[in-house]
Structure 1
Amino acid sequence: MKTTVPAASDARAEIAHLVRTTPPLPSWIFSWEGWDRYVRTEFNPPDLLDCAPADVDVDEDDPRVDYHRHLLMIDTAFLKDCLLRARGTFGVNGNRYEGLLDMVIDGPAGTGKTYLLRLIGRELQRRVEKHFDDRVPVVHITVPHNPENELNWIWEIASFLALAPEPKSEAEARQLRRIPDLSLPVRTVLERKQTRLLLVDDIQRVSPAQLGPILHYFDFLRTRLGITTIFCGTGATDIVHAARKGCDRRDEALWTAHQRLQPGATPADLKAAVAKEQKVRSLLPVTWVDPLPWSDDAEGQAPFLAVLKGYEKNLRMRKLSKDVLTRHAQYLHDRTGGYFLYLSQLICGAAVAAILDGTEDITREHLQAIRIGREEILPSR
């Protein structure tokens, strides 16, 4: 089945459609079946004609309840720009045999990094499926529970590709099992299915020392198969850079290079030259995803207000007030700190409560009743 997307005269229009229709459904997408379903599903708002009539009490089965529990991420200029930059990197990588660049997505927890990571993968797969329907262009994994062993990382990829043998019974599942080396079947499937992108989430759960050895395996996939890896997680920039620095013995290589380039240099000169290069924080392009800002001037409030207006556009209620969210902008930012995670939880929770109690409008009381965390504030010293 081919994915249907509207004809677009430019990349931005196509990406805007993608952002608006990307489903945030938690269908556990670390498998090809789940990921493929995620890519193909479009999460559209329900028609009020398909919902309970206005004079009928609404229950949990109303389509709007399910919809508002999974309100879409907002179509922001930032997301569009991120996708365009990622498309540019893939475009360069796809036309060369060497010098491919991996990527990093970094920022505080709760800012939407994982959503952006998956949006990039979804966009790439949809573009590939316009021309081919027999490929696995994207593989999505998370850091394994025990990242010390390289085989555990390969097992994650194998599980996504349905190559990892599952226990045949509960008794077998309770037995200690030796993890087999699935590197050959993994490589074979990735090569035959022409995989081009590996998404690795939750990098914050691994230390540089644990990540270092598996980086050389990712290097092999990039060199042998042309697969780009995107590392995503809080602190991913420093973790990946430190891991690369250790596993590639980068400082020693820099020292030797400057010795060759400056044969008459003193040890102090060499040390200064190496120190200058060591100031580089990342050898990979980094996309920073930060909380939405807020300030007293109109320009500083514009990004947050644009997001709230996007949520207002997506709401489906029968008695929705004008500017139902933007009029509470200061309060919403104070509650959420501009983090998408908390903002989405707060708006979704209030919307569902307003539908179930028959109000059909979001009030300050609805917002105040929703608990999202961030309520306990330390006293000033």
Structure 2
Amino acid sequence: MTSWQGWQQFVTTPPPAPPVPGDPARSEEERLAYHSAFVTVRTPAIDTLTTSVRTLMILGRHQTVTARPSLIVTGPAAAGKTTALLHVGRACHLAHTHSHPPPAGSLHAPVPVAYVLVPPAASAKALATEFARYLGIPLTTRMTQAAITDAVCHTYNQAGVRLVLIDEIHRLNPRTTTGAETADLLKDLTERIRATFVYAGIDVTGTALFSGDRGAQLAARASLVECGAFPARLGKHEPFRELVTGVEAALDLRAHRPGTLARHASYLHQRTAGRIGSLTRLIRQAAITSILDGTERITKTSLDAVRLDHLAETHHRPTTRHSRTTPH
């Protein structure tokens, strides 16, 4: 998705749809593919980000003097930051192309959204090159960073890019010389490209990104959207159980008993530390395994057999009689 062709394919491919009662049953291969891709579960963070992006795009539409206000999506790993970013980017792209269709016979589709990954230890020239690669801007090895940046700003404005999504922003460290130059490039781009910038990264407020003069500038322009872990209980509500219920409702298994996963919400919260990424991975893996072994249902036993990502496993792995070690 870090090229225009890849992004175009992503946004124009219909997202996975849960089973519809009364529709013909899907084949095993179709259901394996469905649980592999799976649905995007709407979360408060997605709703907040959607509203905030729409508001800031309107707010900055005619702003020309200074950089437009931006957003930073932050939170722990596996908390759904990239999912939220892509969901909002897709919605923005589809809304824009619906309201601004290309003229009949035009070979140039609208380019309302750009999606860029910050490379590890990115130099300013490397990041500028990533911006250029997204739109296929031709570059030569002799081009300077300034020349690449000029080409990027000109082409993005000509193409009508309105929303720039920058992922893995925590890789940027303004305390280093290279990182400082890259941070300055981003500031330059936000002032020269007529678009709203949205960043996403792991626990951004705890990194060097907000430190020093450059960090103060970013903090003064960017609002934070938190993608945190879901608490087991919040007042009279049980946010994590509600999340589990939503994920369970999207399953396409022939023998699964509705409500099974919701009854194990406390166990699932312990396994995943309340992170939506770890939760959906756990349930998707269990669902795929159940299709392959023919049981077609998820139980606590089958969930416990799934090895999760290392972050979730090291947070908490419930001890059972079978997992205790015996002294030699």
CA distance in 2, matches of 1:328, 1:120: 31
CA distance in 2, matches of 1:235, 1:211: 18
1:91 is aligned to 2:49: no
Q: 1:197 maps to what in 2? A: 163
What is the CA-CA distance between 1:113 and the residue it aligns to?
Answer: 0.9
Q: 1:227 maps to what in 2? A: 195
TM-score by length of 1: 0.71
CA distance in 1, matches of 2:316, 2:12: 45
How many corresponding residue pairs? 299
CA distance in 2, matches of 1:179, 1:72: 43
Question: Amino acid of the residue matched to residue 89 of structure 1?
Answer: L
Provide Cα deviations, 1:322-351, integer angstroms capped at 9, x if missing partner.
202101111100100101121011000001
1:239 is aligned to 2:208: yes
Provide Cα deviations, 1:262-317, integer angstroms capped at 9, x if missing partner.
xxxxxxxxxxxxxxxxxx9655211111001114x77252x111111111221111
Q: 1:124 maps to what in 2? A: 92
What is the CA-CA distance between 1:353 and the residue it aligns to?
Answer: 0.9
CA distance in 1, matches of 2:287, 2:168: 30
For residues 321 and 191 of structure 1, do their structure 2 counterparts lie closer, same or farther at Cα, with a shift above 3 Å needed?
same
- Secondary structure of 2:260's partner? coil
What is the CA-CA distance between 1:159 and the residue it aligns to?
Answer: 1.0
Question: Amino acid of the residue matched to residue 78 of structure 2?
Answer: G
- Secondary structure of 2:248's partner? helix
Q: 1:363 maps to what in 2? A: 299
- Between structure 1 and structure 2, the one with the greater Rg is 1
Question: Amino acid of the residue matched to residue 128 of structure 2?
Answer: I
What is the CA-CA distance between 1:180 and the residue it aligns to?
Answer: 5.4
Q: 2:82 maps to what in 1? A: 114
CA distance in 1, matches of 2:256, 2:25: 18
What is the CA-CA distance between 1:50 and the residue it aligns to?
Answer: 5.4
Using the TM superposition, name which of 358-367 and 74-83 deviates more: 74-83
1:104 is aligned to 2:72: yes
CA distance in 2, matches of 1:360, 1:104: 40
CA distance in 2, matches of 1:159, 1:345: 31
- Secondary structure of 2:73's partner? strand
For residues 290 and 318 of structure 1, do their structure 2 counterparts lie closer, same or farther at Cα, with a shift above 3 Å needed?
same
Question: Amino acid of the residue matched to residue 230 of structure 2?
Answer: L
- Please tell me whether the aligned partners of residues 119 and 127 of structure 2 are also in contact (alpha carbons under 8 angstroms): yes
Q: What does residue range 158-237 of structure 1 map to in structure 2 within 5 Å?
A: 158-164=132-138, 181=145, 182-209=148-175, 210-237=178-205
What is the CA-CA distance between 1:104 and the residue it aligns to?
Answer: 1.0
Q: 2:105 maps to what in 1? A: none
1:288 is aligned to 2:226: yes
Question: Amino acid of the residue matched to residue 5 of structure 2?
Answer: E
CA distance in 2, matches of 1:227, 1:314: 35
Q: 2:127 maps to what in 1? A: 153
Q: 2:247 maps to what in 1? A: 311
- Please tell me whether the aligned partners of residues 104 and 286 of structure 1 are also in contact (alpha carbons under 8 angstroms): yes
Q: 1:144 maps to what in 2? A: 119
CA RMSD of aligned residues (A): 2.7
CA distance in 2, matches of 1:84, 1:216: 28
For residues 283 and 184 of structure 1, do their structure 2 counterparts lie closer, same or farther at Cα, with a shift above 3 Å needed?
closer
Q: 2:259 maps to what in 1? A: 323
- Please tell me whether the aligned partners of residues 141 and 201 of structure 1 are also in contact (alpha carbons under 8 angstroms): yes
- Secondary structure of 2:274's partner? coil
Q: What does residue range 56-95 of structure 1 map to in structure 2 within 5 Å?
A: 58=28, 62-95=29-62
Structure 1 gap segments, 5+ residues each? 1-28, 53-57, 167-176, 251-279
For residues 344 and 369 of structure 1, do their structure 2 counterparts lie closer, same or farther at Cα, with a shift above 3 Å needed?
same
Question: Amino acid of the residue matched to residue 218 of structure 1?
Answer: L
